[in-house]
Amino acid sequence: MRQTRVYSILQQFSRIEQNRCRKYLQSPYFNQNETIVDLFELILEDIRKPAREDWSKSGVWEALALPLPVDDVRLRKYFSDLQKLVEGYLGQQVYDQRAVQQYENIMESISLKKLEGMDGTANRKARKALEKTDHRSSRFYLDQYLIDKQFYNLTQFDTKRSVRSNIDQMAENLDHFFLIEKLRFHTTVLMQKRLVNYDYSLSMMNEIVDYARKHQEDLPKSIGLYLKVLNLYEKEEDIQLYYEYKDELAKVGHLFPYDELIEIYRIGTNYCVQKLNRGQSNFLQELFELYEKLIEMEVKFNQDLNPWDFRNAIVVALRLGHYDWTETFINENAQWIPESYRDNAVTFNLATLYFYRQDYDQVIKLLRYVEYDDITYNLNSKTILLHTYYETDEIESLYSLFESFRVYLNRNKSISEAKKADYKNLIKYTKKLTRIQPGDDKSLQKLTKEIQETKRLASRKWLVDKVEELV
């Protein structure tokens, strides 16, 4: 029974969330079945300190101390009802944080029940709650539309045909919501197409973009930022458009909710990475600054740091030579990485820092006996270890790693063939490099040509640098 969905959900809750969920379950308004609460407590007890060996249906039934023979159907119903209540708790948490939505629902209820004397107060409170929100992106205009719609219903404009209604306001707010969401989806699709070969069909996009550009001065500022983003995709070579996007982001970024703003920043980081891949090294500093902002937002708004943003920021910082910054960054921000990723992230990134500082003994100490669950960490750690053995002239260890690395690549079916080619070629050319004597210009020229002509190759720049050292 540990494989049930509700067990998995509760396992992911923090201790605070578990306690809040308990209060929800104990409320007679939501739940009047004490057995459901007992089942909840039994699951939490097992999650915190697994002590009960028998978690079969009969074992759980016995633990619940029910005065009936084991009933498979009834037990499944208990688990199902608990899951529904936990899902209800999750929905309630979001609802409790959205005052605007609460007032919208109050207005709708007043309208449906035809209650008199409450409509004006509810409308004022809804609009006041909306004005207190910091964001002015799509959700703001959707809420404005819903409030206007409930106001329309409450005032019964459909029966008062001689009185001017608020239909134009409703239509305008709905238009703004629609435009922002469509532009958001459009930019997301354009970004994904750079990474994966997915095909999407978004209707009316040409007309929407043309309309937004023509009427930009009269539309919300959030639409203006999305148009700056579109410029990046349409005219990639015009670098000035990147700086216009960056300036606009600094001006109006505060208008967006956290999740939407993160998406817009990631568009900028992807753009910088593409420029770096084309040899435009000045975008390394730009990428560093964007990652600094991304991580600042993740910690501030989410209290949870994406381990890949953590790693990417460190790689960029090290390439810029910010070694002390990197060490401070790791020490101060590791606590925000989700616990399941934290140890791997800290170990790997510290090893990367030590490699850049040429403290190779520490690199070997951290990585020699480590096998990461995550494929990306595993590939990168083996690559750093390969570099380290070469730099320290640990030939025996290096050749042993060649073999174990090749076996890992061959056996792991989760790694794409293209990615395997990257690392197999790294092994191949590093092995060749170890067999060439300094000053053997003919062999070095041949190897340089092979490296240049090979399409799939990890650590290409490192290999080129090592060849040049032997010239």
pLDDT at 10: 94
Contact 307, 337 (CB under 8 A): yes
What is the average per-residue pLDDT within 289-304? 90
Residues 92, 118: one domain?
A: no
The dihedral over CA atoms of 389, 391, 392, 396, expressed in degrees to the nearest 10, equals 40
Per-residue tokens: 444: 């070095």
Among residues 177, 201, 233, the one where a domain terminates is 177
Tokens describing residue 104: 């919208």
User: 182, 197, 268: which is closest to 231 by C-alpha?
Assistant: 268
Question: pLDDT tens digit string along 336-361?
Answer: 998 888 988 999 999 999 999 999 99
pLDDT at 468 over 80: yes
Greatest mean pLDDT among 79-93, 117-131, 181-195: 79-93
Q: What is the rounded CA–CA span in Å between residue 421 and residue 406?
A: 11
On whether both 369 and 460 belong to a single domain, the answer is: yes
pLDDT of residue 54: 66
Q: Do residues 18 and 104 share a domain? A: no
Q: What's the pLDDT band for 52 if we cut at 50, 70, 90?
A: low
Distance CA 144, CA 172 (A): 10
pLDDT interval class at 279 (50, 70, 90):
confident
In a domain, residue 380? The reply is yes
- pTM: predicted TM-score of the whole model, two decimal places: 0.78
Q: How many domains does the chain have?
A: 3
Report if residue 207 sits inside a domain: no
The Cα 265–Cα 353 span in angstroms is: 25
Whether the predicted pLDDT of 463 surpasses 90: yes
Last residue of a domain, one of 96, 130, 161: 96
Residue 354: both structure tokens together: 């030590």
Instruction: Report the distance separating Cα 441 and Cα 464, nearest Å.
Output: 14
In this structure, is residue 418 part of a structural domain? yes
Nearest partner of 380 among 396, 397, 399, 363, judged by Cα: 363
Q: One-letter amino acid identity for 40?
A: F
Chosen domain end from 37, 71, 96 = 96
In contact, 101 and 95? CB cutoff 8 Å:
yes
Q: Are 263 and 188 in contact (CB under 8 A)?
A: yes
User: 103 in a domain, yes or no?
Assistant: yes
Do 364 and 457 fall within a single domain? yes
Residue 55: pLDDT above 80?
A: no
Judge if 137 and 37 occupy the same domain. Answer: no
Q: Which residue range forms the structural domain that includes residue 62?
A: 5-96
Q: How far apart are CA 366 and CA 87, in angstroms?
A: 42
Note the pLDDT tens digit of each residue in 387-416.
Answer: 999 999 999 999 999 999 999 999 998 898
Q: How many Cα atoms sit within 13 Å of 391 on the Cβ side?
A: 19
Query: Above 70 in pLDDT, residue 196?
Result: no
Do residue 422 and residue 458 come from a single domain? yes
- Tell me, yes or no, whether 453 and 405 share the same domain: yes
Angle at 32 between CA 30 and CA 35, to 5 degrees: 120
> For tokens 């007043």, what's the residue?
110
Contact between residue 456 and residue 425 where contact means Cβ atoms under 8 Å apart? yes
